[in-house]
Copies of this chain bind each other. A is one copy, B any other.
């Protein structure tokens, strides 16, 4: 499931893009780093190995990688966007109270997607924005 950096680099070449140090490091950070990094966090990770990489380079690389379908970005809340590999695309549930982020089970959106398709002809791709709510812990805490 999880791609290697080399496989992703191959995707870059196939797409007609060049493979640069900065680009390879962004991919490495996405593969090896924590989940849901922001552009800023990726920049920090990249700079541990190549301190002179500029912020705008990371933004442009993420844009290009997204155009090639290698990565996708998601908004989990009001702050910066978060990035992950397209192979790991999934929905997100975010708690409005504590900010906890859950990855939505693959099939959670199915019934809604079916309903939207049947009733409105609308094809759901519910990955770009998180769905907010209240997590189990905060819900029980709120009752007390």
- A-side residues, CB < 8 A to B, are 75, 93, 95-96, 102, 104-105, 108-109, 111-112, 115-116, 119-136, 139
Contact = CB atoms under 8 A, between A and B. Distances in A.
So how many copies of this chain end up in the complex?
A: 2
- Determine the main DSSP class of A at the interface with B: mixed
Contacts of A129: 75, 129-132
Q: Find the residue from A124, A128, A136 having the highest chain B CB count within 10 A.
A: A128
A124 B115 contact: no
A120 B109 CA distance: 14
A78 to B, nearest CB: 9
Nearest to A121: B136
Contact of A133 (B102, B122, B136): B122
